[in-house]
């Protein structure tokens, strides 16, 4: 009997193959748990009911993350411990697409349908595919001629059959040895890259700038290549050591709607880190940025606004810093993961929030102070002058003058920090203002300046070594 050759269009190939795989007992997913670390990786735990025949089985475990670390996979037969042993594991990730299909049809016969134009209805070219790189297909037709066909005029490509080594989804394939036949509940655990989370905070200053309202959001960025539906979500905050650094992958992302309704995060210590568990299940889709509120707004947090002049960092700028205590007495007192803090203040004219600066905080335990550098003062101007400098054997002596001009309509206090290298001994010999030795290399002068006035700070410092 003459063998009939069925030519399938590229699109039909994809649909047919996907349907065929769906009929090969794709394993139903019973539950998913996701623990995300802020080092751009996660631990995935999936419980599925899997049917086994007695003896050797070939099991397909689909819908795993494409960024999975296959060496991290752990298999447990939960319903009957020890009943199933995994003898071999293969991870197949070469997915079906036009490029992968054409690459496998080099030196094999294909049929290319070329678009027509006007009265030209187009034509089919059947022949051996010689190349499919760049914008062209190179085909040796049935007459032996070489045709170069631009992909822009290709309507479809028809293939005889699908290569067996392509899959529609990243798949783990196991060779499993079952002691008896039956359906077993199995737990599969693995790590995956390209999913991480950060904390983002919002602080709204009161009109007198002595208090702020503080809220926090978790931002989960999933580019792992899998969607985790109705997952139990945990977040780990802390510096967890890993031997290999994650490899960067660039992908398109979509912003998901913020989720704030019901069941927020519960925080607790976990080993030397902190764990945040979401009180409800949530879906984290692939190529999605999801935001979930994780701090109940802390209202009326007492804060101090500081003007600091540190010429070792900014010679002609006065820094603005906000400081507040992370304590229960100050309406906070929780472990704060590292992240960006954005500060806002209402415009009294229309009560609209306006952005006034931002800073990043590191992991901050409760009962610790936070300091935010949010910008530089506009109406406070410093002018620094080195009045005198003497150098000798293993010593220097310098006289500094700093003129501080306050062009604001209210009095302020500016803290002037003089920094010294850690390897010298230093002393302030003469000064117009009192100073505080804050640490081994910082002398701080507290300078009160009336509204629209100028104050000059002058001091002589000696360094020896």
The predicted pLDDT at position 420 comes to 95
pTM over 0.75: no
pLDDT digits (tens, 9 = 90+) for 191-211: 999 999 999 999 999 999 999
Instruction: Give yes or no for residue 36 having a pLDDT over 60.
Output: yes
Determine, yes or no, domain membership for 445.
Answer: yes
CA angle (421 as vertex; 420, 424 as ends), nearest 5: 95
Residues 87, 186 within the same domain: yes
Cβ atoms of residues 457 and 401 within 8 Å: yes
Task: Give 161's Cβ-side CA count (13 Å radius).
Answer: 6
DSSP per-residue letters across 376-391: E-SSEEEEEEEEEEEE
Instruction: Give yes or no for residue 133 having a pLDDT over 80.
Output: no
Determine, yes or no, domain membership for 232.
Answer: no
Residues 63, 119 within the same domain: no
The predicted pLDDT at position 115 comes to 85
Q: Which domain holds residue 396?
A: 380-464
CA angle (273 as vertex; 192, 188 as ends), nearest 5: 30
Determine, yes or no, domain membership for 287.
Answer: no
> SS3 helix, strand, coil % of the chain, rounded to 5?
5, 60, 35
Residues 25, 150 within the same domain: no
Q: What CATH number is associated with residue 121?
A: 2.30.30.520
Q: Tokens at residue 392, please?
A: 């000798």
Residues 176, 86 within the same domain: yes
Residues 17, 152 within the same domain: no
Mean pLDDT for the stretch of residues 106-129? 82
Q: What CATH number is associated with residue 439?
A: 2.60.40
Determine, yes or no, domain membership for 218.
Answer: no
Choice among 5-19, 247-261, 368-382 with the minimum mean pLDDT: 5-19
- pLDDT averaged over the chain? 86
Residues 21, 114 within the same domain: no
Residues 80, 38 within the same domain: yes
pLDDT-based confidence at 283, cuts 50/70/90? very high
Which positions ≥6 away from 276 have C-beta within 8 Å? 218, 234, 235, 236, 237, 265, 266, 267, 294, 337
Determine, yes or no, domain membership for 363.
Answer: no
Residues 27, 73 within the same domain: yes
Residues 404, 453 within the same domain: yes
Q: The sheet that has 55-62: what strands, in order across it?
A: 55-62, 171-178, 84-92
Determine, yes or no, domain membership for 393.
Answer: yes
Residues 154, 181 within the same domain: no
State how many domains the chain has: 3
Which positions ≥6 away from 4 have C-beta within 8 Å? none
Determine, yes or no, domain membership for 16.
Answer: yes
Taking the C-alpha atoms of residue 153 and residue 155, their distance in angstroms, rounded to an integer, is: 6
Taking the C-alpha atoms of residue 46 and residue 34, their distance in angstroms, rounded to an integer, is: 9
């Amino acid at each position: 009997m003459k063998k009939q050759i069925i030519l399938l269009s590229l699109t039909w190939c994809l649909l047919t193959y996907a349907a065929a795989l769906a009929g090969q007992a794709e394993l139903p997913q019973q539950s998913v748990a996701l623990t995300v670390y802020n080092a751009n990786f996660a631990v995935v735990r999936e419980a599925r009911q899997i049917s086994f025949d007695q003896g050797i089985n070939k099991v397909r475990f689909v819908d795993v993350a494409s960024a999975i670390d296959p060496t991290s996979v752990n298999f447990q037969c939960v319903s009957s411990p020890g009943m199933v042993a995994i003898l071999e594991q293969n991870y197949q990730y070469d997915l079906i697409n036009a490029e992968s299909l054409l690459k496998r049809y080099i030196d094999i016969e294909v049929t290319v349908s070329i678009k027509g134009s006007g009265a030209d209805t187009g034509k089919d070219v059947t022949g051996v595919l010689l190349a499919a790189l760049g914008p062209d297909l190179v085909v040796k037709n049935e007459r032996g001629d070489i045709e170069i066909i631009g992909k822009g005029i290709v309507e479809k490509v028809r293939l005889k059959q699908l290569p067996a080594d392509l899959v529609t989804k990243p798949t783990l394939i196991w060779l499993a040895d079952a002691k008896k036949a039956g359906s077993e509940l199995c737990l599969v655990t693995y790590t995956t890259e390209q999913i991480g989370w950060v904390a983002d905070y919002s602080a709204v200053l009161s009109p007198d700038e002595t208090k702020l309202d503080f809220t926090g959001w978790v931002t989960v960025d999933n580019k792992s290549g899998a969607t985790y539906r109705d997952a139990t979500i945990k977040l780990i905050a802390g510096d967890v050591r890993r031997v290999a650094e994650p490899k960067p992958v660039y992908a398109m992302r979509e912003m998901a709607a913020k989720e704030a309704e019901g069941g927020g995060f519960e925080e607790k210590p976990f080993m030397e880190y902190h764990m945040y568990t979401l009180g409800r299940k949530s879906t984290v889709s692939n190529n999605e940025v999801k935001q979930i509120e994780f701090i109940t707004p802390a209202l009326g947090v007492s804060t101090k606004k500081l003007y600091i002049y540190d010429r070792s960092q900014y010679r002609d700028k006065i820094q603005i810093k906000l400081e507040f205590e992370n304590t229960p007495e100050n309406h906070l007192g929780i472990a704060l993961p590292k992240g960006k803090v954005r500060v806002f203040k209402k415009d009294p004219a229309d009560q609209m929030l306006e952005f006034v600066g931002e800073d990043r905080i590191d992991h901050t335990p409760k009962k610790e102070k936070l300091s935010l550098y949010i910008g530089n003062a506009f109406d406070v101007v410093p002018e620094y002058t080195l009045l005198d400098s003497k150098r000798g054997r293993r010593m220097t002596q310098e006289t500094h003058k700093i003129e501080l001009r306050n062009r604001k309509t209210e009095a302020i206090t500016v803290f002037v920090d003089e920094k010294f290298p850690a390897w010298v001994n230093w002393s302030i010999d003469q000064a117009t203002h009192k100073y505080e030795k804050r640490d081994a290399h910082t002398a701080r002068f507290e300078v009160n300046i009336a509204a629209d006035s100028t104050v000059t700070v002058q001091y002589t410092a000696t360094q020896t070594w």
